[in-house]
Structure 1
Amino acid sequence: MGQNAYWFSIWFTNSKDRTVVWMANRDRPANGRGSRVSLRGDGAMVLSDVDGSIIWETNITSTDARMAELLDTGNLVINGPGGEILWQSFDSPIDTLLPNQLFTKSTKLIARLHGGSCASGYFSFFFDNDNVLRLKYDGPDIPSIYRPIPYLTVFENGRTSYNSNRIAVYDETGHFVSSDRFQFIASDMGSLRIKRRLTMDYDGNLRLYSLNNDTGLWLTSWEALSQLCNVHGVCGRNAICVNTPEPKCSCPPGYEITEPGNWNKGCKPLSNVTLFQSQQVKFVELPHVDYWGFDLNYTESISIDSCMKSCVGDYRCKAFNYKLTGERHCYTKSELFNGYQSPSFEGKIYLKLPATVEASQLAILNGTGPICQSDELETMIGSPSMLVVSFQKAWCASFGGRWMSCVSNRFRRFTYAELKKATNNFKEELGRRGSGTVYKGILTDERVVAVKRLENMYQGEDVFLENMYFGEDVFLENMYQGEDVFWAEVSTIGKINHMNLVRMWGFCSEGKHRLLVYEHIENQSLDKHLFSPKFLEWKDRFEVALGTAKGLAYLHQECLEWIIHCDVKPGNILLDSEFEPMIADFGLAKLSQRG
């Protein structure tokens, strides 16, 4: 846009970049020399361009309109007699939702096209026709929903479609709730002084931001996806998203970027790799890669040779996916969208290319992703028209385990009465940690849980008077240290999910009570087994060490923020019924921004 392009907007005055939260004319800028906003006598607010043409106007007219006012909530309103709101900007959000701004079936958050643009982009957050909140890519090629997880049912995703109210909101503390049972909390939840915004970002991720008043900078306090490669369309047609650990887009062998610097356009085939129906073909093998969706056929219990033949015999097939886990599942693909690479994906994509493609065109991933040396291997499979080119070192990938969504679908706030009843008044003690005592409990839905009650926070009048004797500062320091431990654990475990990390189901912050609710791990901690009469075999010890390493690798490489546990020891490694290790007790964990 030229220097003369203007938008009628609302922004945060205390943010360093004056972050915009609402625009009247995002897709049609006004001429800054002569455009004007006016409140007409018929009650309509109108944005006029320099030539007098109307660029934007409110959708109401009322001769009762008295004034337009910008409230401290960030809501621009037109008031009638007695303060009645005739129109408000809160009813027409752009890409951002503010605290206590209702999100309904008639509203939608639409991301910007890219970082330097105000125009509407391809990603949106909205209530679908089945009453479920969803994230969707709606680009120039094809639409695709990517959250909640599209291959699971509504109920498997922890949502419900039975409430037709279609309404959601979050409060000043950072607690978001929705009629479809989707909810989350800010990692810094609790303070009413923090300014927050929920924004559908141009990269396809939905994020909650908290404003640091000292620096004017925004910090991410929650996000919908911890792995950006789960966003559909983030790299465009044919391209592959690689977490290294930061997400990068790459073109697969035989392809090149369509428009340098613009991954929305994806990748195009090199000039001599266009497939014709009668042409002999070869297949390029890409381990741990998948293109989600667009399955022509799905076949179980089939050999890789038969799977390959089904792709060769179908002119529509551009690739096939074959699982490595022994399930022998075959998926043939009609289009190559939503490509991603992940160590946790136990399968391969075999790209279908003409047999005449030169080896030099298949040696690297030629995009903004990792450029690695490759060991090329060609093998004949089946007939002369079917070849496989296997790249054993064609991907640079971070070591890690399985990742899921940022916040468990069943994560929630509990009342103290609920947890007191679940633990039978804290009767059965499971153990003691540095920050508190852990009790066994059974929730109303029959889940067995471990409830950790934090101590050294508000422990009665005697402790209060003792601390006050040494001064108010000492008392407040002890109190806030307890709060820091509590919120460190909630904000850390509340946003991660991995098979080697203990799962948190929720928390309680009520009056003086601070409790954390975890899944119950059957075989207690590792230290109970290392020197017990039931000696832990060396094979089991190796598996425990390996699982622990996977959990730590996830924390160190695959999370939004680096998470450093700070207290890894046998007492904080729990063993489940299969003696699979799960890292626990994140009370001392440190979070560090990737930058």
Structure 2
Amino acid sequence: MGLGGGFLAVLFPTFFVFPLVVSAASYSEYIYPNFTATNFKFIDNQGAFLFSRNGSFKVAIFNPQGKANYYLCVIHVASTTIVWSANDAAISSSGRMDLTPKGITLTDEQGNLKWSTPSSLRSPVSRLLLSEMGNLVLLDRFNVSLWESFRHPTDTIVIGQQLRREGAMFSAAVSGVDLATGDYSLALTDSDAILQWQGQEYWKLSMDAKAYRNSNYVIDLMEVNGTGLFLYGLNGSKIVIQVILSPSDFRIAKLDSSGKFVVSSFSGSTGTGTQEFVGPVDGCQVPFVCGRIGLCTGGTATNGPRCSCPQGFQGQVDQGGCVPSNGYSLPLASACNSANNGSQLNSSRISYLSLGYGTDYFSTDFYDPVKYGVKLSACQELCTEDCSCVGIFFENSSGSCYSLDNDLGSIISSTTGDGDMVGYIKALVADSSDINKFNNQGQGKEFPVTALVLLPVTGFFLVIVALGFVWWRRGRLYQNKDRKLRHARSISSGDLDAFYIPGLPQRFDYEELEVATDNFKTQIGSGGFGSVYIGTLPDKTTVAVKKIINLGVQGKKDFCTEIAVIGNIHHVNLVKLRGFCAQGRQRLLVYEYMNRGSLDKTLFGAGPVLEWQERFEIALGTARGLAYLHSGCEQKIIHCDVKPENILLHDHFQAKISDFGLSKLLSSEQSSLFTTMRGTRGYLAPEWLTNAAISEKTDVYSFGMVLLELVSGRKNCSIRSQQSHSLENNSNSGGGQSSSSSTSGLIYFPLLALEMHEQGRYLELADPRLEGRVTNEDVEKLVRVALCCAHEEPVLRPNMVTIVGMLEGSIPLSEPRVESLNFLRFYGRRFTEASTIGEENDHSNINLLYPQAYTCATTSTCESPACFSYISSQEVSGPR
């Protein structure tokens, strides 16, 4: 008995220790430092070593779909959905996770680090928590969060998690097995949630029929909850866009590896999921659904996309896509680099393979053409000269040229085949040198060459000699340019390195900006400060380069001090200053490029009419930008020239104010022109004429004038349209006397707005092109705000912060004080009198009769002498 008991005493611990080495017990809610986990150690729990208290989530070293790739994951237990993963690079089953006081590390079997939490946490880690919502949290000894998985999403958000706009986005996995970061991503903008492929937009939430825009606040965050999907503004207190779904206890929003954004709900513990929302609905709108150059047909929710190769192409769409037939190869944009600027491509060998009519591409709905009103040959020439261009789409009716850059996605096929759009893929007649070149660069596998066109020996020799000569010439040119660039940089360094100014934006050399603008080839604007040119930086970013003339600041240090102030002002509704140049006598500013141009061209031009919602968003964005300049900056900035020409528009008509803070850069000669005014007439506040103090309320007045132009869709002093005649008739028939009415054919709109306000007839002020797509209440809001801005006494005008509140609805609308607006009647009468006398006297004395500061700025649509400008608006104002 004693022997048996002793034997069992020895055997018992051995028997039970061995299984613990193989499969350790998992933990609930917390684990503590100096903990190690491997898949093998917790193999009985499928690699899971930590569960949430409610058992809904687990943390595991997990292999998706039972394959050989292992990842550190947070998993929703009921549905086995991976809601977060750590490592991009997979490990094997022997890889290990370690929790130490410094954080989490993940290493492979050789001990190589594959992923870790930040190495510089604020304090030592006390424990690791998996919350009941699926959030993995590192806590210190005071239970303060040091790091959270919710703040570093991969491709999914769950109930209780927020995706914030600033610096946050998530990306789809490569596949269901490979959890590395793929080419699809989701990001929040100021006004929407968008999907991107390789940085190119292809879908936005607001375009879906289920999405409802509730307000116009700047978006701060996105979340899913028990009732649906929501985008919030004002730090989560205001709904901007909502998608209402059926009530659910658990819901996830995921960007799957196919490029679709899917919201699913899960009921009970069955793990059965229901897809409630999918975007885009049309599968053919997903950029790579059929591989490279694969032709996508159908794509509806019921049928799904059908993939094939276009005529003249061959390949397997499920194995990467299609390639040309008949002796062509595809030039790779990745072979393009700054050193040779695409010199691998011999333009004489470039051809364009037609995809036929009735084809389209995802990016044509989201990006502007690179050129308008050109011929097909000119469009192809643009692509030939750009080594990053891999194809074009051309719209015959408008002559719009769309460039496809860097990589090719799938082609969208129209079922009718009679569309106005035609696509072309850039191709080369292939030879053996291309094969060697691309193979040496490790890129030949992407586009196998299907046939070769062999040149005769003599012709081949001549081509080699010619290419050698071109290469030698290009080398000499680049040597000369490099020598000049180094010389310019040495001069520039000597000029500016003698002093240091904190906060300066990027400094460019003049030679760099010459190259970026192709020697200032394409001018896109001009004004009192100088001219503006479009340019492209080496990183392919498009910029607007402003060449300043009439510079008042003589010293570089004074100039740079002012630029440091402007460069450190960052707001979503202000055009960003990317950099500057102060070299010799040259002064240039480099701004972000606004692809929709200025508001005046969009509002007053002959293009598509701005819808009311777009006008309201422009008004609100402009107000927010001015409010920031007046009260949100360290130093208050008064713009002094608020007008449609200085309000630039970006994607989705996002408004950004330009030329703020530049008034100090005016020369003394130019400043002498502005003893009584600085800005553009038609937008100048009365205090410019009375020598009263100039304050931020001067900008408020100008903003009010812009609001009225947004309402009417025309300049405040303009030729009277037929609608204006009807307004006059209606007013007179009702017994009212409209002093703005006249047989002269001209109208001073601010006075008409005042008269219609007094009569409560706001809708008659709206742009007639809107054709009833706006309500009386909508127009009333903008008109009342505008008239409050136009009060003659600056103290009666609201500040811009209050104006933002009134537009957003958080502050009640103020009532305009008519007694402070009576000066508009005087200006209205003088305007019509001057125009009438000017017509009778062959337009010769118009400037003697009309108040100098209130003549209209010259515009391309101004046909009346009353719009004559004593000093042209370009002399007075900054560049467009």
So what's the TM-score if we normalise by structure 1?
A: 0.48
Larger of the two Rg values belongs to structure: 2
Higher percent of residues as strand: 1
TM-score, with length taken from structure 2:
0.33
Higher relative contact order by CA 8 Å / sep ≥ 6: 1 or 2? 1
